[in-house]
Amino acid sequence: MSENSVFDEMWGRDAQVRAPYKNFCNWFDQEDPKRLRAKNREAEDLFRLTGITFNVYGRAEAEERLIPFDIIPRIISGAEWAKLSRGIEQRVRAINAFLHDIYHTQEIVKAGRIPRDMILQNEAFQPKMIGVDVPGGVYTHIVGIDLVCTGPGEFYVLEDNARTPSGVSYMLENRETMLQMFPELFSKNRVQPVQQYPIDLRRSLAACAPAMTGGDPTVAVLTPGIYNSAYFEHAFLADQMGVELVEGHDLRVIDGRVAMRTTRGYKPIDVLYRRVDDDFLDPLNFNPESQLGVPGIMDVYRAGRITIANAPGTGISDDKAIYSYMPEIVEFYTGERPLLQNVPTWRCSEPEALAYVLDNLEDLVVKEVHGSGGYGMLIGPTATKKDIATFRKKLKARPKNYIAQPTLSLSTVPIFSKTGLAPRHVDLRPYVLVSPDGIKITPGGLTRVALKKGSLVVNSSQGGGTKDTWVLEE
């Protein structure tokens, strides 16, 4: 990890343009900034009209926001991508093997590679999944691996999203927007396509249908409803796949199968791509207050009569405390050395680690084990003394609740700012589909960018934006 200098993906030393960006920069230098600015606004109008908005949590329906889109693409060479995707595939294979193991014989615990409590005491561990044989042996049908780059070819996994990763609609719409606005760029650069994702997703889900399914499986997307922050994405994916978008109240268990209420009566579903959290999936088996799920769906699932994607209980594999064991997990199940690096992580549950973390809070990032969306975290180097003092108290009170990591020097990619190109920190979330037919990774993924100068927080809920991500053909 380079300590002082930030790695910019477009420009090297002495403002030398790096190879993947050469074509793009030639084009950019000849463009009139005024035209580009107009295009930028055009993109925004397009997003609004298409309705690519997200609802801000806890606010009224009127509060629909756009995720800012930046027109400068993030470009990755084919060779670099090939290397990355090998690492991603290895990791995703390991995650699935790990999930199967901990919900069956728990060999990894018996081998002493992960403490038993780390699994059994974990809130994300789902006892109802013990001994369940999931259709096709697949637990995580859709995975989003969050990566950050710190130097040439240096990628780290920041977190694995193995529950219901979101954002893929932005990957698709960002590309669509770029194609519409700058078609000439795509004739000058050979960019690997992403548009096949919805069809791949449908095929991949269908391939995971229960063994009993005859013919073409009926797939549906389960959404919490139009007030959910990601509703647009749920509707978008259902639309693009050509499947029904259902809510809990459209579904019912009839004759041992989950069925949806159609205008002609109830029709059974084979594969449910659910965008509802485990807890809300089944009021009879999980949170009894839930209005979003289907009473009894877990019983149908255990009987092997429906596929739930992703499987309940996958949260145990992307838990931040488990994260620190990922190198061991990859080695244990694949017998290979991990190709992707993990960020060194201190588990504050361990007294020595806690002592170190408390002594070095100014230099570390501290995260809540179960937090997400960039909330509940401390970024030492940019935090105020008061923030650090507050966190110190929290850490001492509930050390098990936290992990700490060194502050990574995230790479930058320029954005098109009011004053021209300006470097901003980015991360990358590639999307991975898993089925018995194999693992499929869409080239590229979603690049999130912190629009504020110097900021490391890329989350859309906190002022982050997105970019189109290009993987070039070799």
SS3 of 431, please? Answer: strand
Residue 25 sits in the site that holds other proteins (CB under 8 A):
no
Residue 381 CB, nearest approach to other proteins (Å):
42
Separation of CA 224 from chain center: 19
Interacting residues with other proteins between 208 and 237 (CB under 8 A): 226, 231, 235-236
Residue 457 sits in the site that holds other proteins (CB under 8 A):
no
For tokens 């999980």, what's the residue? Answer: 286
CB atoms within 10 A of CB 395: 19
Query: Are 43 and 186 a contacting pair, CB within 8 Å?
Result: no
Residue 205 CB, nearest approach to other proteins (Å):
16
Q: Count residues binding other proteins (CB under 8 A).
A: 25
Residue 265 CB, nearest approach to other proteins (Å):
7
Cis preceding-peptide flag for 310 (omega within 30 of 0): yes
Residue 244 CB, nearest approach to other proteins (Å):
6
Residue 51 sits in the site that holds other proteins (CB under 8 A):
yes
Per-residue contact string for residues 245-284; x = within reach of other proteins by CB under 8 A: xxx-xx-x-------xxxxxx-------------------
- DSSP E strands in 136-281: the ranges are 142-151, 154-161, 219-222, 244-246, 251-254, 257-262, 265-268, 271-274
Which of 96, 223 has the CB closer to other proteins? 223
Which of 53, 461 has the CB closer to other proteins? 53
Residue 247 CB, nearest approach to other proteins (Å):
7
Residue 63 sits in the site that holds other proteins (CB under 8 A):
no
Which of 25, 235 has the CB closer to other proteins? 235
In the chain the first and final C-alpha atoms are separated, in Å, by: 27
Interacting residues with other proteins between 31 and 50 (CB under 8 A): 48-50
DSSP code per residue over 58-102 = TS-TT-EEEPPEEEEEEEE-HHHHHHHHHHHHHHHHHHHHHHHHH
Residue 50 CB, nearest approach to other proteins (Å):
7
Q: From residue 397, give the alpha-carbon distance in Å to each of 44, 324, 400, 456.
A: 45, 21, 9, 27
Provide the binding-site residues for other proteins, judged by CB under 8 A.
48-51, 61, 226, 231, 235-236, 238-239, 243-247, 249-250, 252, 260-265
